[in-house]
Amino acid sequence: DVEKEKETHNYLSKEEIKEKVHKYNLAVTDKLKMTLNSNGIYTGFIKVQMELCRPPQTSQNSGKLASSSNGCMNTLHISSTNTVGEVIEALLKKFLVTDSPAKFALYKRCHREDQVYACKLSDREHPLYLRLVAGPRTDTLSFVLREHEIGEYNSFTASSWSVISVGGKQSSLQMISTEEKE
């Protein structure tokens, strides 16, 4: 954990973080401020929009994410040490999704000169740091949770595929084929 904390602060000095948190809090309009702890770690809120094409498996409704959840903005309270992977896990846990976190990716959406850019974040990035640097305005930077493209799962390797039964493989291939036709 000490290495994780050090890694987070390689971007900015403690004084720069203190100044950025202060400026961020002055610009906040929705009361979702950041708090800087004496050890240099800060906590705050990020908003993540759910953009899921296929309903994920959940423990409550056996197969469908509540339709009101998809497309909505979700607020998470996180630490500057939390990584993208941890944020994805927290979102899935919040909505009781039982699908593997490896099926999902967190994207940052940036708005520049009437253009919108979406960029997939690596699992090691720190979303709260990105929020701090960009400021509180979601029209400048926002976060989106999406499924990976077919065949792009983080930890779904050939060895994982070999564990699946022949019937399971055929079923998966049929689902993919059906989705591609639609």
Residue 95 phi, psi dihedral angles, 5° rounding: -100, 15
What is the model's pTM? 0.71
Contact between 8 and 129 under an 8 Å Cβ cutoff? The reply is: yes
Asked whether residue 166 falls in the same domain as residue 103, the answer is no
Query: In terms of domains, do 139 and 179 share one?
Result: no
Question: Residues 168, 137: one domain?
Answer: no
Q: Say yes or no: 117 and 180 in one domain.
A: no
One domain for residues 80 and 128: yes
Is 172 found in the same domain as 101?
no
The number of domains in the chain is 2
Identify the domain containing residue 43 by its residue range. 2-148
pLDDT score recorded for residue 9 = 43
Q: What is the pLDDT of residue 98?
A: 83
Are 66 and 104 contained in the same domain?
Answer: yes
Claim to verify: residue 112 and residue 162 sit in the same structural domain: no
CA 173 distance to own-chain centroid: 28
136 & 167 share domain: no
Per-residue model confidence (pLDDT) at position 56: 59
Do 162 and 76 have their domain in common? no
Pairing verdict, β 141-147 and 42-50: parallel
175/128 same-domain check: no
Q: Mean pLDDT per 10-residue run, the chain (182 residues)? A: 45 92 96 95 95 66 50 90 96 86 94 86 96 93 86 43 46 56 55
Residue 20: which CATH number?
Answer: 3.10.20.90
pLDDT at position 141: 94
Q: Are residues 100 and 84 in the same domain?
A: yes
Distances (CA, A) of 44 to 17, 33, 41, 112: 13, 6, 10, 24
CB atoms within 10 A of CB 148: 14
